[in-house]
A and B are shown apart, each in its own frame.
Chain A
């Protein structure tokens, strides 16, 4: 029998597993609305995870580590932006190379490093934490989780209400028309990748100094790709994208929790579940009519 406590534990676990995805998803969502499809999210998250632990270990402060992670994500976003939207290297190739580079680099550095474990502090909201079932998952968490409360609406507002967002959307739908109006297409895409890098970095950093407390090789294990799938699954709408992240997070949490609860479900199926769900979601629910018109297509002034 699964008791209320168990459900609560699973939900807490789900929230914690969703949060890194959610941060990164806010970033990738914005990038894709601007037409910049970006598979280097994995590199951003992984690099940030490593950087945050390394910095936290060096400075003794997990929060500094968190900031460092964001900066590293930003750096990777800067590199990718320039490789793909200035040098015009195919965005998938650039993403692939960055992923390989960061994987190798972090894998190498971790084997010769010895970091202390650091974790950001936990926040426990009085009164609200005592609500049965959803109290602990929502109101007893490490403090960076609550950044989402600001970041999600901020991302939405940036894309849908700000001038920068209007131009990003124009650039993602019909870059040629945007160019005519005087908007600098590739510059906007590079900026979008900076935002994506910062947020994916936050996601990766949270994974390291928020949840786990340390770094191990390839600790993101493909989460970056899940995020890309989530944006597609979410039909390029932020709400549905985050819902997708939540579903994947929940699947992950279930996988960890079920054996402990005595339920025997196939381990591999559970591990594969998020990826299968992502594929299924893209197959069944992806609304191609909502896809930004110029997604993944490079922009060259003067070409047809």
Chain B
């Protein structure tokens, strides 16, 4: 009798290797993770999809013991655990391969692999272990080779081997294909499949790339704003739906001005006034935000209508040629440490428009910013300003050609923190405040005072060292300096980073003002809100190149997400 009863019982549900319940973490008022539930089972590759600010990094930091969660539980094989340190995470069988490699070029592969260990070095044992793991998972790499000579894909294999050594049951990969070619990515997925199936491991694949998620994962969880917004088996969903979930936003008042939706805001062709334009707000990002996809067909129709309307308007005005671009980037290519950072980047910015360069961090924006700061020259490609190519090897050439740039704050390339506000304000336009030899103190301070007043820089005096100013005020100093030179094109990189709301709004207002006065503005940002608020055209950067440029009604959450996810428009 008993056997019959037992035979009739359903098979037990598998216990997830990793289970998160209600995990939350806040930094001040900002919730990085908000009641996140996640189940990852052995034998599956689980995709974690989301943009910047979605909460992926924080979640992983919690799992790796770098950050303590505020609330919720983490269970390993159904046992609640407390991950207090990276060592504990490793002991629990959680291992991670980071997006940015920390390999030491002049050392060999096996030396890099054993670098974190303690105890005697056993050269042949290390070599054998590398070979063994390499063979087992299909990660061909020569243990005796120097890392310096390895390609990006090979370097990633080394990082994978480093991780797999620890025999992790949960393997986390952070944006793994950001440095790989298509072929290498396919190989990687094959390796992961093997690891997962034959050895009953679990893999969490963090990504913002849709093709990666759809190709490699079994199930996918989408994060947005710290919350889980969508969960599905990968087979039952598709890139378009995932894109919508990844990017979808509430439309705020500010967003209505997005992408030329308000009449007469910008002078660019894409942003021309049109009566029916306001209604386009409905087809904006939020269209796909509803639970079902039924807005689809209707949306398409509306887009068609709008396109027709645009055409009519233009025809009515006569064909207007768009003004020639002030800034023209062609074929910019750069490889650093074997990793391709920029891959033939092309972009145009016309006078009077704000072009938003949008993409998830790590796709080349920082390098582009450095390049436009004049910090290095690309391997190939050109930068033309007002139709003339710029010699990128010459210091100050970009500035002389009429390019102003507010660089990413963290680089410290925009300011000399120990010099005064006045010094920093004049350092690129010494001609205005000096004779041939001597600096004119009076003029310097007069100019400084004027700029401080004009740009609302809060500082005890113009002699205060810039390092004593707040982040927002430092940003204002750089902006003031750049704009005072009346550039033809202004590049702003991550302007909102580290700023409070008031400073951000102030910055946005200025950008709109200068654009309406005819300046070409290139806004490099990872904040979609910001890009949507300011830009008349959005160029999406992914893997070091522009995957597509959207303007006007083309900007939908779906298309944006698709481009961000790596597909070419």
Contact = CB atoms under 8 A, between A and B. Distances in A.
A–B contact with Cβ pairs below 8 Å: the answer is: yes
Contacts of A182: 116
Interface string B392-425: 0000000000000000001110000000000000
A166 B411 contact: no
B106 A163 contact: no
Interface string B118-137: 11110100000000000000
Contact of B106 (A162, A178, A183, A293): A293
Contacts of A177: 102-104
A196 B368 CA distance: 43
Contacts of B410: 304
B379 interface: no
A177 B101 CA distance: 8
A167 interface: yes
Interface in B66-91: none
Chain B interface size, under 10 / 10 to 19 / 20 to 34 / 35 or more: 10 to 19
A304 B410 CA distance: 8
A162 B121 contact: yes
A163 to B, nearest CB: 5
A263 interface: no
A180 B116 CA distance: 9
A163 B410 CA distance: 35
A174 B412 contact: no
B111 interface: yes
Contacts of B123: 161
A6 B121 CA distance: 48
A32 interface: no
B107 interface: yes
A177 B104 CA distance: 7
A169 B102 contact: no
A170 interface: yes
A248 B288 CA distance: 77
Contacts of B114: 166
Interface in A173-216: 173-174, 176-178, 180-183
Given A162-B121, A163-B119, A178 B412 contact: no
Contacts of A183: 115-116
Contacts of B111: 166
Nearest to B410: A304
Given A177-B102, A178-B115, A183-B115, A170 B121 contact: no
Nearest to A165: B121
B105 interface: yes
Contacts of B117: 163
Interface string B519-544: 00000000000000000000000000
B412 A304 contact: yes
Given A163-B121, A177-B102, A180-B102, A169 B107 contact: yes
B118 A174 contact: no
Interface in B424-453: none
A167 B411 contact: no
Nearest to A167: B115
A170 B412 contact: no
A173 B107 contact: yes
Interface in B277-296: none
A37 to B, nearest CB: 17
B103 A161 contact: no
B85 to A, nearest CB: 11
Interface string B324-357: 0000000000000000000000000000000000
Contacts of A293: 105-106
Given A304-B410, A304-B411, A304-B412, A166 B106 contact: no
A161 B412 contact: no
Give the one of A174, A176, A183, A293 with max B CB within 10 A: A174
Contacts of B103: 177
Contact of B104 (A161, A178, A304): A178
A169 B117 CA distance: 15
Contacts of B411: 304
Interface of B: 102-107, 111, 114-121, 123, 410-412
16 contacts: A161-B123, A163-B118, A163-B121, A169-B104, A169-B107, A173-B105, A173-B106, A174-B105, A176-B102, A178-B104, A181-B102, A181-B116, A182-B116, A293-B106, A304-B410, A304-B411
Given A163-B118, A293-B106, 19 more contacts: A161-B123, A162-B120, A162-B121, A166-B107, A166-B121, A167-B115, A169-B106, A170-B104, A173-B104, A173-B105, A173-B106, A173-B107, A174-B104, A177-B103, A178-B104, A178-B115, A180-B102, A181-B116, A182-B116
Report, nearest first, the 8 A-B pairs whose CB atoms are least far apart: A177-B102, A181-B116, A180-B102, A174-B104, A163-B121, A181-B115, A170-B104, A173-B104
